């Protein structure tokens, strides 16, 4: 995976003024665009699309300072007008092309990334692979922004709005693994960009034969393999740390890759104030 990401960075560098075909590139690597984008964003700390934009505007800054025609520069980097180019330029550098041409800066350069794998070997990840038949996730869904660190207030508000009786009804309805009340994230941006919207479902898993009440939302999940990571400790800190470690440690060391589908968190046990919890993180995977 590390070698593939470095090849992706080289591909971007060779095509700063051309369209990128990440799907074909991923196929050539023997992986998928979905997995490649997710691993890039997890390890780089930014979406691939954001990295490409920053690198293009870094290269474009040299052309702007060089005195070329602004419309020609805009078109060269894939923008149809000087206004669109100016907005992208300002979002990276904090100033417009005219300011840079006049004053020479300030500029915010995005260096070319290099990925390296550091093997620590001091963290044991409690993981199992589960092969599951098709099932359904049912409950109450809402569109919320993605937040990488700390509690998500939008999710908290969504859950808090549900009466206690509804939690009990959902628990009684669940009849499949993952067991118990679940925190489900679906329809997530492949770049995993913070602030992008996802569908969050608070619910349970049922077999695909279970009759689902009409007032509940449902997500159909096809049969497939899942990597299940067990975590214990501070909530949600320990869970989020484990999620990050799947990209930095587990996937680079194991013959599996992410496949499209919902990610699921099952709360197995928790403190009364939810300060600590034992969880299982279920990620849909396939053989790499």
Q: How much is the pLDDT for 288?
A: 85
Q: Copy the structure tokens of residue 221.
A: 């999940």
Q: Are 72 and 97 in contact (CB under 8 A)?
A: no
What is the pTM for the complete model shown? 0.74
Average pLDDT rounded to a whole number, residues 33-53: 90
Residue of higher predicted confidence among 102 and 201: 201
Q: Which SS3 state, helix, strand or coil, does residue 170 take?
A: helix
Mean pLDDT, the chain, rounded, equals 90
Nearest of 158, 260, 259, 135 to residue 204 by alpha carbon: 135
C-beta atoms surrounding 23 within 10 Å? 12
Average pLDDT rounded to a whole number, residues 81-107: 88
Burial pattern 96-117, b for ≥16 Cβ within 10 A else e, equals: bbebbeeeeeebeebeebebee
Nearest of 56, 84, 44 to residue 193 by alpha carbon: 44
- pLDDT above 80 (res 149): no
The pLDDT-based confidence of 117 (bands split at 50, 70, 90) is low
Q: Which of 12-16, 63-67, 213-217, 281-285 has the lowest mean pLDDT?
A: 63-67
The pLDDT-based confidence of 280 (bands split at 50, 70, 90) is very high
Residue 258's alpha-carbon distances to 21, 106, 190, 198, in angstroms, are 20, 40, 11, 17
Nearest of 135, 132, 154, 156 to residue 145 by alpha carbon: 154
Burial pattern 183-207, b for ≥16 Cβ within 10 A else e, equals: bbbbebbbbbbeeeebbbbbbbbbe
pLDDT tens sequence across 160-173:
999 999 999 999 99
Q: How much is the pLDDT for 274?
A: 85
DSSP 211: P
Average pLDDT rounded to a whole number, residues 119-138: 81
Pairing of strands 224-234, 276-287: antiparallel
Q: Which H, E and C letters describe 35-103, residue by residue?
A: HHHHHHHHHHCCCHHHHHHHHHHHHHHHHHHCCCCHHHHHHHCCCCCHHHHHHHHHHHHCCCHHHHHHH
pLDDT tens sequence across 11-23:
999 999 898 999 9
């Amino acid at each position: 995976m590390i070698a593939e990401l470095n090849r992706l960075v080289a591909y971007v560098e060779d095509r700063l003024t051309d369209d990128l075909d990440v799907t074909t590139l991923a196929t050539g690597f023997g992986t998928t665009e979905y997995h490649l984008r997710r691993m890039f964003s997890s390890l780089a700390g930014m979406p691939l699309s954001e990295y490409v934009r920053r690198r293009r505007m870094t290269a474009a800054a040299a052309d702007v300072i060089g005195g070329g025609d602004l419309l020609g520069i805009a078109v060269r980097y894939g923008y149809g007008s000087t206004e669109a180019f100016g907005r992208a330029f300002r979002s990276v550098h904090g100033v417009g092309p005219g300011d840079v041409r006049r004053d020479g800066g300030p500029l915010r350069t995005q260096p070319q990334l290099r990925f390296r794998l550091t093997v620590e070997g001091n963290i044991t990840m409690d993981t199992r692979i589960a092969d599951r038949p098709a099932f359904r996730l049912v409950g109450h869904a809402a569109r919320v922004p993605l937040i990488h660190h700390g509690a998500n207030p939008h999710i908290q508000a969504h859950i808090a709005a549900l009466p206690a009786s509804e939690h009990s009804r959902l628990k009684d309805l669940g009849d499949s693994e993952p067991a118990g009340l679940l925190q489900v994230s679906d329809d997530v941006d492949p770049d995993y960009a913070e602030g992008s919207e996802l569908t969050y479902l608070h619910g349970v898993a049922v077999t695909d034969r279970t009759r689902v009440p009409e007032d509940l939302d449902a997500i159909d999940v096809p049969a497939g393999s899942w990597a299940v990571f067990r975590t214990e400790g501070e909530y949600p800190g320990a869970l989020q740390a484990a999620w990050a470690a799947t990209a930095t440690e587990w996937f680079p060391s194991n013959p599996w890759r992410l496949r499209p589908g919902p990610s699921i968190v099952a709360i197995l046990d928790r403190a009364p104030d939810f300060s600590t919890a034992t969880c299982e993180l279920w990620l849909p995977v396939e053989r790499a």
